[in-house]
Amino acid sequence: MVRKLRREDVDAMSLRFHLILEAVVAGYGVIEHMQCLTEVLLLCTVLVESGYGGTTLEIFSVMRRSAFQAIRNGMRGDKWYLDARGADAFASILTFYDRLMNTVSATAFATAIERLEKLINLSIQDQIRSGIHLRKNEELNHETK
């Protein structure tokens, strides 16, 4: 049996994401807001790649660039905010996400989340390996001096 997500849960998640986007657009965002929006972006990317289309992958590219810029600004001590183009792209993808939440089965979402978690874990493992490799190189360089 294909199970849909409960309407109350769908509405609560949707409201949360839209409020987070408004906070970031207004310049009141924090790192957790950008993390949340990035997770929605990645989840939608996985769902589109899995055949739940309805939007172009080009918008994801705009969103990734905007999110990267917002994160870079925030990490430098500036406000965590999205530029107008990024805000429009994220608003569009949140609307797309809302449609998906009302049409895609809970099983499809669970599969997409599982796939996303595997990708994130692989990425983290790669970053850890890169960090270990960099530290070893730094230690070797230091020893040869």
Identify the CA nearest to 87 among candidates 36, 30, 18: 18
Residue 3 corresponds to which tokens in the numbers above? 């199970």
**80's torsion region: left (phi>0), alpha (psi -120 to 50) or beta?**
beta
Question: How does pLDDT run across 95-132, given as a tens digit for each residue?
Answer: 988 888 888 887 888 888 888 888 777 665 555 555 55
For the chain, the structural domain boundaries read 7-144
pLDDT of residue 142: 52
pLDDT band at 3 (very low <50, low <70, confident <90, very high): low
Are 59 and 89 contacting, i.e. CB atoms less than 8 angstroms apart? Answer: yes
The residue type found at 3 is: R
Q: What is the pLDDT of residues 51-102, one digit of tens each?
A: 887 666 677 788 888 888 888 888 888 788 888 888 998 898 899 888 888 8
